[in-house]
Amino acid sequence: MDKGIPWAVVMILLSDVCTGENILPPGPLSGAVGGRVKFTTSLSRPESPFLSVSWSFKSVNIITSTSTNITEPGHTNRISLDRATGSLELRNLVPEDSGEYTLTIIPDGGLQRIGRITLNVYVPITSATIRSPAAVLIENQSSTSLTCEASGSISTREWIKDGRFLHLSDSVSLSMDNRTVFIRPVHSSSHGTYQCRVSNPVSSLTAVLHLTVNYGPYNTSIIGPSATSPGQKVTLQCTAVSIPPANFSWAFNGTDTHVNTSVFVIEKLESKSIGNYTCTARNMVTKKENSAVLDLRACSTAPCWSFSALVISAINLKGLI
């Protein structure tokens, strides 16, 4: 080296040999198998054509353009080069196209410029399902799992229940890869619609499963008047929270009425109709029952104010015999 050239000048000259900041987007770019992608540079069309434009992939030149274009055989008919800006289009993508691409440009009278960008090629997602073991699930007695299966390149799996992201708890957990939800044990709140949304940068699909958890009956109640005038028609409605829907039976002053519907109708209130009406709700899957009692009275003086009563049972759940 010439001792008359300062080191600082040498370093400046060397640093200007290859410059190329921001001539390509930061990336990575995403493409779908069978699709196309374009590597677009930020360069404007120069006054004089570039002396040379070349692209390499994993250190192998795939196209070099000087006075003519030389294309690597594996990329023939799959690439198009915009020689004016250095932009490249790659078609008929395959997974093996994933990796780093390097652009090298030699301008006419300028400094060599180099840019690099990574391409990730994904297989589009074409199917998605949620699998769950076939079983009758009973609250606080059963456990289950939901497994999200999908074909294609899976980047993310998201679980949603009843329109909201799945809430994890002591009884609800996920596998390390988010593929499976474990529910141990199931609760009434586990009942509902589950969705698994699988996606990658080029596609997404959502699988849906309705999970049935048998529970109840809870909150058995009787809706109807607690007092009315003699001779009036009285309708009592029994409700309960239950999956599957509960079966109902009615008793009057402790005696079975043989009415097995949710509605009990007294066509004409008489003195013999005054007393306690008990509605019992039964769940034939959970083998549990729950009851509510309404004390029906007749008005003894006029005017008789009839009003609706909501009677909710405080009787504990018990197993059916």
2 occurs within a structural domain: no
203 and 146 both lie in a single domain: yes
Has residue 102 been placed in a domain?
yes
DSSP of 171-194, one letter per residue? SEEE-TTS-EEEESS--GGG-EEE
Q: Which domain holds residue 297?
A: 216-319
Same domain, 299 and 244: yes
Last residue of a domain, one of 98, 122, 146: 122
300 in any annotated domain = yes
What is the Cα gyration radius of the chain?
38
Residue 138 sits in the same domain as residue 118:
no
pLDDT of residue 284: 96
Domain boundary among 168, 196, 211: 211
pTM over 0.85: no
Q: How many CB atoms lie within 10 A of CB 287?
A: 14
Ranges of the chain whose pLDDT falls below 70: 1-21, 300-321
1 in a structural domain: no
Do residue 191 and residue 131 come from a single domain? yes
Cβ atoms 27, 101 nearer than 8 A: no
Find, among 57, 166, 147, the residue nearest to 102 by Cα: 57
Cβ(159)–Cβ(130) under 8 Å? Answer: no
In this structure, the answer to whether residues 92 and 11 fall within a common structural domain is: yes
* Dist. CA 166–CA 160, nearest whole Å: 5
Residues 131 and 84 in one domain: no
Say whether both 179 and 117 belong to one domain: no
Same domain, 45 and 143: no
Q: Tally the domains of the chain.
A: 3
**Residue 289 amino acid letter:** E
Query: In this structure, is residue 22 part of a structural domain?
Result: yes
Q: Are 31 and 119 in contact (CB under 8 A)?
A: yes
What pLDDT does 109 receive?
81
CA distance 141 to 321: 19
Residue 199: give its domain's CATH number: 2.60.40.10
For the chain, helix, strand, coil in percent to 5 are 5, 50, 45
Asked if 224 and 199 sit in the same domain, the reply is: no
Model pLDDT, residue 44: 86
pLDDT of amino acid 22:
80
Q: Which of 194, 211, 228 is the last residue of a domain?
A: 211
Does one domain contain both 15 and 60? Answer: yes
